[in-house]
């Protein structure tokens, strides 16, 4: 005798039932106000002008001092040079990091490679923006300068190639607008959700919500290590890269 296994048919029946309920519910709504949501009301944030910080941002560098930064080597005052509203990498001084620690953020940062071109490949205008001191968005002069694709400007270093090369000429100011979601770890230190990064370079989307594989490593594969909030770090790679107008919004 032919038998019907109703367990196999259950998903189909449930789907049909849900469609019927949705159709009936929609048919019963005649007042547009019934689907209006008034609470909560989004708080007001005043936008900045000319890439300036919005009203709810933390200004990390406004061109005047390095009070928000410290040396990574020994936690002393950051020793990079300041002139004309910009900070410049001081070769040999080492990386600098924010005194504050962050999790999920929207980060705006502007940079310029040296106008006088020296070197090629990775030796030309090299620096980097490290989110939580682990995950690097590469800073490099890739204007008519070929290097390995997962290490060029805007790469999530050694992990994701940028969608396009949006570099301006050497010496010209460029922008990164980064939206970063930090990875999550449980109490046992096991990662339960990967971090994600979106990057716009000079207003052009180059990293589209990519999933971080782990720490940025020069040699070897990415490493996953449990951590909480951590500073934003800028790299001293020996090149006179300049930075200005750095602000962050905690998400």
pLDDT per residue as tens, the chain (251 positions): 545 554 555 556 556 655 555 655 566 999 999 999 999 999 999 999 999 999 999 999 999 999 999 999 999 999 999 999 999 999 999 999 999 999 999 999 999 999 999 899 999 999 999 999 999 999 999 999 999 999 999 999 999 999 999 999 999 999 999 999 999 999 999 999 999 999 999 999 999 999 999 999 999 999 999 999 999 999 999 999 999 999 999 99
What is the structure's pLDDT at 13? 56
pTM summary value: 0.88
CB 111 within 8 A of CB 128: no
- Contact between 237 and 124 (Cβ < 8 Å): no
CATH of 58-250, one of 2.40.160.20, 2.60.120.560, 2.40.37.10, 1.10.540.10: 2.60.120.560
* Res 16: pLDDT: 63
pLDDT of residue 8: 55
Cα separation, 242 vs 85, in Å, equals 10
Closest CA to 94 of 77, 117, 113, 112: 77
């Amino acid at each position: 005798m032919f038998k019907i296994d109703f367990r196999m048919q259950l998903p189909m029946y449930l789907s049909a039932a849900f469609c019927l309920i949705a159709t009936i519910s929609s048919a019963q709504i005649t007042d547009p106000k019934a689907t209006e949501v008034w609470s909560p009301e989004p708080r007001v944030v005043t936008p900045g002008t000319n890439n300036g910080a919005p009203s709810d941002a933390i200004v990390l560098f406004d061109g005047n001092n390095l009070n928000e930064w410290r040396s990574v080597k020994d936690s002393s005052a950051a020793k990079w040079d300041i002139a004309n509203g910009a900070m410049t990498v001081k070769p040999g001084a080492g990386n600098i990091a924010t005194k504050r620690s962050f999790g999920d953020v929207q980060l705006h940062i502007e940079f310029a490679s040296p106008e006088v071109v020296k070197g090629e490949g990775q030796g030309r205008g090299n620096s980097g923006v490290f989110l939580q001191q682990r995950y690097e968005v590469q800073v490099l002069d890739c204007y008519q300068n070929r290097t390995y694709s997962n290490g060029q400007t805007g790469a999530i270093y050694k992990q994701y190639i940028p969608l396009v090369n949006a570099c301006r000429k050497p010496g010209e100011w460029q922008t990164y607008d980064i939206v970063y979601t930090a990875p999550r770890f449980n109490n046992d230190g096991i990662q339960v959700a990967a971090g994600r990064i979106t990057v716009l370079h000079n207003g052009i989307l180059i990293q589209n919500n990519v999933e971080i594989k782990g720490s940025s490593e020069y040699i070897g594969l990415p490493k996953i290590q449990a951590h909480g909030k951590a500073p934003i770090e800028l790299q001293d790679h020996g090149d006179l890269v300049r930075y200005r107008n750095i602000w962050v919004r905690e998400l």
